Amino acid sequence: MSISISKSQTHVQFNPVEWLDRDLSLLAFNSRVLDWAKRPEVPLLERLRYLCIVSSNLDEFFEVRAALHSSVENPKAALDAKGAHAQHSLSQVAHALVAEQYALYNDVLTPAFAKEGVYILSHGERTLAQHRWVKTFFENEVRPLLLPVVLDPAHPFPQVANKSLNFIVRLSGNDAFGRDNEIAIVKVPRSLPRLIRLPDKLSGKRMLFVSISSVIRAHLKDLFPGRDVGDFSQFRVTRHSDLAVDEEDVKNLRTALRKGLVHRNYGQAVRLEVSAGCSEHLSNFLRHQFELPESALYRVHGPVNLVRLNQLIDLVDNPKWLFPSYVPSFPHQMTANTPIFEQLKLGDVLIHQPYESFEGVLAFLREAVRDPHVLAIKQTIYRTGADSALMELLREAVQRGKEVTVVVELKARFDEEANINWAEKLEYIGAQVVYGVVGLKTHAKMLLVSRREGRVIRRYAHLSTGNYNPRTAKLYTDLSHLTCDVKLTQDIENVFNLLANQSKIPRLNKLMIAPFHLQRNLIEWVDKVAAAAARGVPGRIILKMNTLTDEKLMDALVRAGQAGVSIDLIIRGACMLPAQRPGVTDNIRVRSIIGRFLEHSRVFYFRTGAEEKVYLSSADWMNRNMLRRVELAWPVDDPVLRQRVVDECLVAYLHDNMDAWILNSDGQYTRAVVTKGRSMKSRVAHGAQAALMDLYAAKV
């Protein structure tokens, strides 16, 4: 598919713009998420959850991105003044964000929990009876799992796994052999709970907890009889965790990745966290051990892994400190107890998750699995989780004699093991499992069903902006599109053939596919609107996605804005395109929506005069998505459904003044505020997610 456009239209002169830094923008996104943890109107356990989400995001940031800024990985960066400055700035921002997290935890959330009678007791806060209980717990449940190692030539520094909890201890006195080896390491097994609730008889009317680090810290001396314990500190090292497999040089990608998973926890160290009171002697010892610069050392005032505080949410489990339970409705376009295949013959169906239930997608697959007229099912799998009803349905389909083909993306970051396991289970019972195209990740979300109806085989399909995981489908906003459109389903069939046998595909009717022509076609659409605007025809572009970092696509948007096109960008996370820069991006506005649900849908809207086009897509506007992944974008042709997408996914978000953040000309984000206009409407707070929850909430 391509757009007819003259060569002159694609080379409009424009004033260039300096892009914002991607990683600083990503850290800014996490600051916006952290803001939810600061808000007193947010339920207390949800505030803690947002704090944990930021900590988890930062862990992944360091695991994936930090090595890019390391002088070891990128020696040229150290020689480039601008690169060195950017690296220094990035380190400053990261340190400031971590400090803000711990200040919020210690000075705001901990007192708020204490006010409600929930305490995590330190060693010094425990009563004598509580000390005895903790001592017994340590002896019975913890000590048998610990094996402290005192370092000497025969006992070198042990392998420390990525993000694991450990202690470093400085000892004085001599060991059993008369030697004065002073440094010991205590590794804390992941099997131990990070929070332990004290019995009610020791808590009164309160909920009292102790952390595993506090339990071990209180009994370090017991681990080294005959030695004096001096300085000590908990510590955690974060390691570079991207799996590096040369796909061109392996015979079996699945086997190579499974071997790689064994070593993932022991990659290059990129960050070291220690207690705030850790001595310089011990912190320097650890830094040198892990070969890290001073900037990679983070001194924290609290547990070195805030993510594990998520356990407190489950342990407390008080509904009044959580968001009110939300029950999504069954997709309103679908009629229960009526065959979905018959419904799709009457028209396409859109499901707006999580406001409408993912059960609609499962119902479609379930019907396909159990319909005797269905001959074949093909599906892509990127992230589906270790426990998936969807994958169990595919297994059932194989057992019922359907031809099942599954394209499993083995390199879905941090889901590799679950995907490998599913691939092996499906292959074992007879499904055809393929792993896409060497060198490309298959990120497209598509499901194709072939059904015999009389003398013909009719295809039915599901396309999604990004989710086949039933668990995260309750937390992420996405659009599911069910159709039996002949041209669209033929395109999907051709893409599956491409993934299975890498043969050239015929010209597609409706789909745009990366890495072949998605980027080019999107640029042509932007340039088409720009060319019309230059002729005096009103032009409008609205784009909703997670990330905007592709320079060619951003160049096209800048050209269009300078040609007079009004452009609104709804970008949840990193955005490198500066907004509202005088003379450069005056017509471009950028906003980020951070709410109860994770914004995940990708919607592209183009209008010239009265002509408008709406595309849904699995792809963000990133270079990797356009050139190194298999991605799809497809049109919403039905005018009623197209208007629904515009109203729910674009207009509602452009009017959001509760959860929206605005990117200013200085590159900083500020929260949108309720305007003080004359009309009552302009002074009403509006949250897009809240409005959609009200619209679609199930009547229970």
Residues carrying an active site annotation: 443
Residue 678: helix, strand or coil by DSSP?
coil
Query: CB under 8 Å to 246, separation ≥6 — which residues?
Result: none
Q: Which amino acid is at 252?
A: N
Query: CB under 8 Å to 464, separation ≥6 — which residues?
Result: 361, 445, 446, 478, 479, 480, 481, 618
Q: Report how far residue 557's alpha carbon sits from residue 618's, in angstroms, rounded to the nearest whole number.
A: 20
* Beta-strand relationship, 228-239 and 166-172: antiparallel
DSSP code of 696?
H
Q: ∠ CA 409-410-411 to the nearest 5 degrees?
A: 95
Phi, psi at residue 285, to the nearest 5°? -60, -45
DSSP code of 105?
I
The CB-side HSE value for 585 (13 A sphere, CA atoms) comes to: 27
Tokens of 499: 């993934």
Instruction: Specify whether the CB–CB gap between 625 and 514 falls below 8 A.
Output: yes
Among residues 579, 423, 436, the alpha carbon closest in space to that of 498 is found at 436
In sign, the C-alpha dihedral spanning 206, 212, 214, 219 is: positive
Among residues 634, 571, 569, the alpha carbon closest in space to that of 599 is found at 571
Instruction: Specify whether the CB–CB gap between 524 and 5 falls below 8 A.
Output: yes
Residue 329: helix, strand or coil by DSSP?
strand
Instruction: Specify whether the CB–CB gap between 106 and 190 falls below 8 A.
Output: no
Phi, psi at residue 631, to the nearest 5°? -130, 155
Q: Report how far residue 291's alpha carbon sits from residue 129's, in angstroms, rounded to the nearest whole number.
A: 44
Tokens of 466: 């990004």
The 3-state secondary structure of 512-534 reads EEECCCHHHHHHHHHHHHHHHHH
Describe the crossing of helices 22-38 and 44-64 by its angle, rounded to 10 degrees.
160
Q: Report how far residue 368's alpha carbon sits from residue 379's, in angstroms, rounded to the nearest whole number.
A: 12
Q: Which amino acid is at 8?
A: S
